[in-house]
Amino acid sequence: MTAWTPHHLLAHLMLPPPGYRPPPGHIDVWTWHADPDTVSRSQNLQAILDGTERRRANGFLSTDRRDTYTLAQVALRLVLARCFSTAPQSVDLLPAPCPGCKGPHGRPMLRERNVHFSLAQTRTTVMIALAQSPVGIELETIDRAGPALLLQLPPQEKETIRRLPSGHRSQALLEYWVRSEAYLKGRGNGITPSSCRRMTTGRGSAHTHQDAALAGWSLTSVTAPPGHAAAAALHTGIHRPSTGPAVAYHGCDQCGRPAATADPEATLLMQ
């Protein structure tokens, strides 16, 4: 099989070989820091976006949000184009049914169902997850952690965090939150206070049976840049898998260096 190759314009974008499909139980994760050079290169590729994506990009009042959104959409199309051996602008993205009203304005999805993806972004960083089955990824900055977020947790998780040394609570809170959001994104639902309070993701690097709602899903921590926490959720269909999904990293960390490969069995501070 052809080796993975870097894109000639978008820095640190390692493209998969033509026709690539992630193996079962495997998640490919790309990370980019939205540095000026990477942002500029992605903006030069905006022609591959469709009209809806360009309109949404232009609708952001924040330059940072517009830049990271554009970077995420451009990179996603370049990766998927290699998977389907087609031009980036020809990648067929459709809106999924809205989880609330069932209308055709949910998150983007592929017409072909043997490749699934998820996007996450902050003002400085973009992450993309690719898998053979439904997948969700979430990334947040440490400044999101605070009393308002803590109030939305189930009692068991609140108590776990409150028992930690004060210097570890913010990171633990954020790590619980990104796990919850990754799972709900994988399911196609946005996170809400009520959905978060009903879930208990438990402890350990692989979770599928801590809560009835999580049956058939595996949750794992994901390597993130400093000041961030990230997690991914993969639908495995296995009620109690013995290990978490394998994660392969591509792209760069916050400093622009190749991302380090993380141990899929790594534990979180809250554990």
Confidence class of residue 2 from pLDDT cuts 50, 70 and 90? low
Q: What is the pLDDT of residues 30-68, one digit of tens each?
A: 999 999 999 999 999 999 999 999 999 999 999 999 999
Q: What is the pLDDT of residues 225-248, one digit of tens each?
A: 888 999 999 998 876 666 778 999
| Closest residue by Cα to residue 29 from 266, 258, 269, 268 | 258
CA distance 56 to 66: 8
Q: State the pLDDT at residue 120.
A: 96
Q: State the pLDDT at residue 196.
A: 45
Close Cβ partners of 256 (under 8 Å, ≥ 6 residues apart): 11, 12, 33, 35
Give the ranges where 84-220 is alpha helix by DSSP (H): 147-150, 155-162, 166-187, 193-198
Burial of 159 (0-12, 13-18, 19+ CB in 10 A): exposed
> According to CATH, what is the number of the domain 31-251?
3.90.470.20
pTM given for the model: 0.82
User: Could you give the 3-state DSSP secondary structure of residue 249?
Assistant: strand
Close Cβ partners of 80 (under 8 Å, ≥ 6 residues apart): 88, 91, 110, 115, 117
| Closest residue by Cα to residue 176 from 210, 218, 145, 132 | 145
Confidence class of residue 258 from pLDDT cuts 50, 70 and 90? very low
Domain boundaries, the chain: 31-251
